[in-house]
Structure 1
């Protein structure tokens, strides 16, 4: 799956609730786990793979695969903790972000069954980070505004370079396809003579 990067519109949209947990959706969860693991991540939210729906997957330090569908954080601790966060949608950037040390979340699991989970430590951090994605919030929005604007500018340049590369690649492929088509047409005209 493609991981969308900061600057792509889908990351800033508020996601729609999931109406029903289906086999098709479970297949998407599996793909998201594969994508997240391949990218060395610990969490991945639907908008990060271009889907504007309210779900995310994660694997915390306890190595348990967890799926959260239509999650709602219903309680947070008054104690706050600083922790250096990163994001698969902003590769190469990290910043200390202050968040509640523990949370209680209600959601549906991968089978559509409701559950409530009280989490602290890294698990609480990942839940809050991924849940933010569902509201179009990225971790840099919760930190130093100067860092956020610097990262946003750098990511915009990266996106621009990537788009330019893609356009050049498409142009090359079109040239190659045209050359092949011309050769095929030449062969075809020789065989009809």
Structure 2
């Protein structure tokens, strides 16, 4: 996917939405306005992702409940994948289910073995409304599934069960940014 701008060079770094914020647990709205505000949001997503040293970032992770995510992520062969998707739909998630370490910029410093398929296909459009299809394998497939989950109101912790889930939730409660109850 080619962009007319260099991602992250013109955007501003926005504060990250952290686990416990209700915006992370609500489905995001479809994008209907493809104007300059959307282009600015995509630039801000890239700038924020790079500042936080992430490989993907969804709009609700910066407080905007819109169906948009960006990525700059390698696959298992160390091929770099760079782009964005507006109104993405995960149309395929198949292959082998692998449990691998997964983290999230909305749960800083934490990770857990999370099961994901090793192949994923996402369809959507660019900031200019051009159709785009993104194919991912390995780690990049994990990234695509992770970001699509965000837009449906899910974080990777929601996919965990048993002791893995309890362990991460205990770590969240102890974190300086975590939920206090």
Class of the TM-score when normalised by the shorter of the 2 chains: 0.7 to 0.9
TM-score (norm 1): 0.77
Instruction: Give the CA deviation at 1:21.
Output: 2.0
Instruction: Give the CA deviation at 1:27.
Output: 1.0
1:72-125 deviation line (CA, Å, top 9, x unaligned): 111222421222100000011111111111012111113211122222112211
The gaps in structure 1 that reach 5 residues or longer are 163-193
Is 1:7 aligned to residue 20 of structure 2?
yes
Is 1:59 aligned to residue 76 of structure 2?
no
Range with greater deviation from structure 2 (75-84 or 23-32) = 75-84
Is 1:85 aligned to residue 98 of structure 2?
no
C-alpha distance in structure 2 between counterparts of 1:34 and 1:16, whole Å: 22
Equivalences, count: 162
1:115-140 deviation line (CA, Å, top 9, x unaligned): 22222112211110011001111101
Structure with greater helix percent:
1
Is 1:128 aligned to residue 145 of structure 2?
yes
Instruction: Give the CA deviation at 1:160.
Output: 6.6
Mark the structure with the bigger radius of gyration: 1
Partner of 2:159: 142
Aligned to 1:94, which of 111, 115, 138? 111
Partner of 1:106: 123
Structure with greater strand percent:
2
Is 1:47 aligned to residue 64 of structure 2?
no
Partner of 1:69: 86
Does the CA contact (< 8 Å) of 1:20 and 1:112 recur in 2? no
Aligned to 2:51, which of 33, 38, 45? 38
